Amino acid sequence: MLSSLRRRAACLLVLASLAAAFGLAGPASAADLGFSVPTPSSDPFYTPPSPLPAGKAGDVLRSRQVDVYAEPLRIVPVPVRAWQVLYRSTSATGQPIAVSGTLLVPPTPWTTGARPLVSYAVGTHGLGDSCAPSYKLRTGTENEEALIAQALLKGWAVVITDYAGLGTPGGHTYAVGQAEGPAMLDAIRAAQQLPGTGLAAGGPAAVWGYSQGGQAAAFAGELQPTYAPDVHLVGIAAGGVPADLEKLARANDGAPWFGLVLGAAVGLSTAYQDVPFDGILNDAGRAAVAQVRTACVVELATAFAFHHLGDYLTVPDPLADPHWQARLAENHAGRHAPTAPVLVYHGINDEIIPLSVGEQLRADYCGLGATVDWTAFPLSEHITGDIVGAPFALSWLADRFAARPTAGSC
């Protein structure tokens, strides 16, 4: 509750700054208010053409201009130009897929070269289509809007991916870095193709995210040299990264945040058909998984608190299965060196993703020869690590956009 109040207070302050900087838009019509926006499952925009047309990753399949609203001010649109985009990307197993997202561009001109673009990845929103950031931005219910607004205030454009299967048909591959990384990189490619945005193809770009978004940013950085060498990536800001999924699953088994473990199991089994999951669920497990597939983060976090994997399965240790081990290893961050500089940051008292996980990610990147800056925030748990870390991450990214060197922390 307190974290929600802190986020809402921050949102009010940042939105007031946006209004002062850019000028508030006029009142919204009733047709534009959040309650009239169809959910993704009822909105044909999110359904990709079948089969996908020939093309390459990052190609725009369709787009539309929209208004976005902010919680709790849902009467006037946020004063930015906004586009929803459906774009081509790549699944965790290398298959072409469609992913949805939102591009936000400040209305003020950018006069010093190409406008910087930040690909922002949200933290855990849930697995149901109504949890998609593109939908929540239009309905004024996106609780990370205050963080996004801080980047917009710098004059940067921001593109926010919905991730694979969140909004678009099919299950969300939650916690699967091998799908999240391409979704972030292809969002950059798509944003820089859209007409009328003022963005330049090949312009400077960065990736930023925290928690699930930190995992996505880390994987975007690791994959970019081979997957998207055409993307001019100048920096990677990854906070609260769930780098080691097996360690986190075991640490949170029976803990207050066990629902995130169950969500990750569903996400991984959705991405990879070879991992045994549906066949090892008991009756309670089948009911829980059905609930998880449509749950947003509050339900996911509260409905399964203090439960155990063993409550839902017919085998004692599914993670020991060789198929699970292989897929968990594929989604272990820190196995490949990004070529762009990396900021890794973490709350010292993080109760969901232990500090040791962030420290190991830093050590892994350093061992691979990456340029790494590391910051641990005193007295911060998981949510406050996000709030305190955001201004620090944005300042660090500003230096990268300005081509200032960093000595690194290795």
- Both 348 and 231 in one domain: the answer is yes
For residue 320, being part of any structural domain is answered with: yes
Q: What confidence tens digit (pLDDT) does each residue in 213-228 have?
A: 999 999 999 999 999 9
Determine the average pLDDT of the residues in 226-243.
98
Query: What is the pTM (predicted TM-score) of this model?
Result: 0.92
pLDDT over 80 (residue 76): no
- Both 205 and 66 in one domain: the answer is yes
Give pLDDT, residue 340.
98
- The number of distinct structural domains making up the chain is 2
Beta-sheet pairing, 342-347 with 233-239: parallel
Q: What confidence tens digit (pLDDT) does each residue in 263-316 have?
A: 999 999 999 999 999 999 999 999 999 999 999 999 999 999 999 999 999 999
Give pLDDT, residue 31.
38
Q: What is the 3-state secondary structure (H, E, C) of the chain?
A: CHHHHHHHHHHHHHHHHHHHHHCCCCCCCHHHCHHHCCCHHHCHHHCCCCCCCCCCCCCEEEEEEECCCCCCCCCCCCCCEEEEEEEEEECCCCCEEEEEEEEEECCCCCCCCCCCEEEEECCCCECCHHHCHHHHHHHCCCCCHHHHHHHHHCCCEEEEECCCCCCCCCCCCCCCHHHHHHHHHHHHHHHCCCCCCCCCCCCCEEEEEECHHHHHHHHHHHHHHHHCCCCCEEEEEEECCCCCHHHHHHHHCCCCCHHHHHHHHHHHHHHCCCCCCHHHECHHHHHHHHHHCCCEHHHHHHHCCCCCHHHCECCCCHHHCHHHHHHHHHCCCCCCCCCCCEEEEEECCCCCCCHHHHHHHHHHHHHCCCCEEEEEECCCCHHHHHHHHHHHHHHHHHHHHCCCCCCCCC
> What is the percent of the chain with per-residue pLDDT over 90, rounded to a whole number?
88
Output the furthest CA–CA distance in the chain (Å, rounded).
61
Selection from 103, 101, 127, 104 nearest residue 45 by Cα: 101
Confidence of residue 407 (pLDDT cuts 50, 70, 90): confident
- Both 285 and 160 in one domain: the answer is no
- Both 261 and 382 in one domain: the answer is no
Give pLDDT, residue 26.
33
The two structure tokens encoding residue 175: 């916690």
Determine the average pLDDT of the residues in 249-269.
97
Structural domain harbouring 155: 2-243+332-401
Pick from 329, 347, 366: which residue ends a domain?
329
- Both 106 and 185 in one domain: the answer is yes
Selection from 165, 189, 167 nearest residue 179 by Cα: 165
Helix axes 258-271, 283-292, angle to 10 degrees: 90
- Both 344 and 260 in one domain: the answer is no
For residue 409, being part of any structural domain is answered with: no
- Both 57 and 94 in one domain: the answer is yes
Mean pLDDT estimate for the chain: 91
Integer Cα distance of 119 and 192 in angstroms: 11
Q: In the beta sheet, which residues pair with residue 160?
A: 102, 120
Which whole-number Å values give the CA distances from 201 to 232, 233, 315, 395, in the listed order? 9, 12, 50, 24
For residue 410, being part of any structural domain is answered with: no
- Both 336 and 373 in one domain: the answer is yes
- Both 101 and 201 in one domain: the answer is yes
Determine the average pLDDT of the residues in 103-123.
95
Give pLDDT, residue 11.
45
CATH code where residue 198 lies = 3.40.50.1820
pLDDT over 50 (residue 182): yes
pLDDT over 50 (residue 5): no
For residue 407, being part of any structural domain is answered with: no
- Both 300 and 197 in one domain: the answer is no
Give pLDDT, residue 28.
37
- Both 142 and 285 in one domain: the answer is no
The two structure tokens encoding residue 126: 């849930």
pLDDT over 90 (residue 8): no
- Both 394 and 370 in one domain: the answer is yes
For residue 79, being part of any structural domain is answered with: yes
Quick check: 343 and 118 in contact, CB under 8 A? no
> What is the percent of the chain with per-residue pLDDT over 70, rounded to a whole number?
90
Quick check: 114 and 199 in contact, CB under 8 A? yes
Q: What is the CA radius of gyration of the chain?
A: 20
For residue 62, being part of any structural domain is answered with: yes
Integer Cα distance of 388 and 81 in angstroms: 27
For residue 110, being part of any structural domain is answered with: yes
Beta-sheet pairing, 157-161 with 96-105: antiparallel
Q: What confidence tens digit (pLDDT) does each residue in 339-382 have?
A: 999 999 999 999 999 999 999 999 999 999 999 999 999 999 99
Segment among 28-32, 66-70, 147-151, 317-321 with least mean pLDDT:
28-32
Q: What confidence tens digit (pLDDT) does each residue in 19-75 have?
A: 334 433 333 333 344 458 999 999 999 999 999 999 999 999 999 999 999 866 566
Integer Cα distance of 184 and 163 in angstroms: 8
Pick from 304, 329, 354: which residue ends a domain?
329
For residue 408, being part of any structural domain is answered with: no
Integer Cα distance of 322 and 312 in angstroms: 20
CATH code where residue 299 lies = 1.10.260.130
Helix axes 322-330, 245-252, angle to 10 degrees: 120
Pick from 313, 329, 345: which residue ends a domain?
329
Determine the average pLDDT of the residues in 327-334.
98
Give pLDDT, residue 36.
84
